Chains A and B, each alone.
Chain A
């Protein structure tokens, strides 16, 4: 009986398949109307810029329609390698990023491990809460705080001078040789607590039984960190490492733009800044798009490379 009804309805559907589809579409007309704005938004704001990347291979002129300008092949790409600023830009981008990877990547892990050793729960919570704060402030505000401190009369400058770390009391942000360090240290200062959250969560997920067993075996605090905590959060570290390597080409644009000035230009011009100058400020849209495209391709390759290496070494990876 039920089978008959089902068979009939299937027959009916195949006969008037189009009709029922239309009916179904009509019955969900409100839902479709609700989904549509999102789809239209994505097509306009995500897909049209993707198509617009073709100007990297053209000689784009803002007053002419995009299809009427001539194709120039890879000219803009080869121009970038010949650019007199090419070496500077590459050196600064990798310099800042590798320094950031070397110092800024382990810092939150160490912070999380140390925080985990604090037994006073309230104090630990307080430290955590305070340490997130700079993450929510903009680089403009932090730049406004840091800039006067790094001036020739600022107290960071004075302190470093008195400790004989720097030879003279100068505008630290005006000296190209200090810019990379300032960028990396101020970034750690802003993001230390925030980046540690994910490690703290990972550490909190480790079974206490492991530590109890280790205590019975006579392991001290440092042995527990080395043989239990670190191996247990290895997967998290691996995934974040892959992401960090993938963003080597994205030096923190918001930060660099605030901290750079005409005096430190030679060590603060990174890829993002170069693209911004060439494109928005000088109007060389095709050239800037080509450099942006090179950046994206290199980023993606680094991400894939880091992913496969970490996968081999630690068995955990992003994808």
Chain B
């Protein structure tokens, strides 16, 4: 009797150890690839061709980053990414919140029809080709606005906003109305300041998806100056992947000796930095957001 309880205790301990090791290895498998990229981004490109750089740069240099900042195409792409993420997020959140506020008023005429129109969009879509043809017809093809306008609104997020707007006490709106404010002014001056948490959450969602999107640049943009950084990277990683890796001849970019691979790593680091910077917030809000989504869905 005593022996058996003891052996059970021991087996539990063994399981705990194995489990901890498993958890640590998940963390390692997640973090190490990023660390490897960081190490290689800070290592001299020509030296890296000898291989064997796993934990720490062997020949430390910041030339790769200098070369990246000296390449006009990359700078342009970063600018496009920043512009589309900033503008895209602000317009998306503003439009969706504004429409959501109007639709949250139960006495709004036509509200039921509006909600039906919106709900259908959650389940049916035209697909890639019809959307592509629409974009062409609207003159958005090869136009910066293709990043902004077709992603400006989401009915799903409208529903999330609505759940929050309903919680705001009507008395606050009423007192603003007494002071002569119209609905739009109330939305701007009363509703927006009171809904900062939900606005921030959705803005993070939208911002990350804008920053990470590379597909729109692939499909809708020809002009290299309008490509976001993700599409730029996609083109050098996927389209010429193998040759680039094997390329042995070092390049001189902006007077710095680098290889295409080492520059690729440093571009990847710079592209990931904004995500890492907002990660603590993402972590906090996204988990909540995902759970809201799962309850609604």
Contact = CB atoms under 8 A, between A and B. Distances in A.
Interface of A: 21, 24-25, 28, 30-35, 37-39, 41-53, 55, 62, 111, 114-115, 117-119, 123-124, 126-127, 129-134, 136-149, 151, 153, 155, 171, 173-174, 189, 192-194, 197-198, 201, 220-221, 253-254, 257-261, 272, 275-276, 279-280, 285, 288-289, 292-293, 295-296
Contacts of A39: 99, 114, 117
A49 B152 contact: no
Nearest to B153: A41
Nearest to B24: A127
Contacts of A254: 214-215
B184 A30 contact: yes
A32 B108 contact: yes
Contact of B51 (A35, A62, A153, A272): A153
B126 A197 contact: no
A38 B95 contact: yes
B125 A30 contact: no
A123 B19 CA distance: 12
26 contacts: A30-B182, A32-B102, A32-B109, A33-B184, A38-B99, A38-B102, A46-B120, A46-B121, A62-B136, A114-B23, A123-B20, A131-B27, A133-B31, A133-B279, A138-B230, A144-B37, A145-B268, A171-B242, A174-B242, A189-B29, A257-B238, A259-B238, A276-B128, A279-B129, A279-B132, A296-B127
A171 B184 CA distance: 59
**Shortest beta-carbon contacts, A-B, top 9:** A49-B126, A38-B99, A52-B130, A138-B212, A49-B130, A30-B183, A35-B102, A292-B127, A34-B102
Contacts of B110: 32, 35
A280 B234 CA distance: 18
B243 to A, nearest CB: 11
Contacts of A280: 128-129, 132, 219
Contacts of A51: 126
Interface stretch (B57-65, B68-76, B82-90, B282-290): B282-290
Nearest to A132: B283
Q: Classify the interface of chain B: helix, strand, loop or mixed.
A: helix
Given A49-B134, A114-B19, A118-B20, A145 B109 contact: no
B245 A35 contact: no
B6 interface: no
A292 B126 CA distance: 9
Contact of B233 (A21, A52, A144): A144
Contact of B187 (A34, A153, A253): A34
B102 to A, nearest CB: 4
B157 to A, nearest CB: 11
Contact of B125 (A34, A49, A124, A151): A49
A136 B282 contact: yes
Given A46-B125, A50-B124, A279-B128, A37 B105 contact: no
B8 interface: yes
Interface in B108-146: 108-110, 114, 117-118, 120-121, 124-134, 136, 138
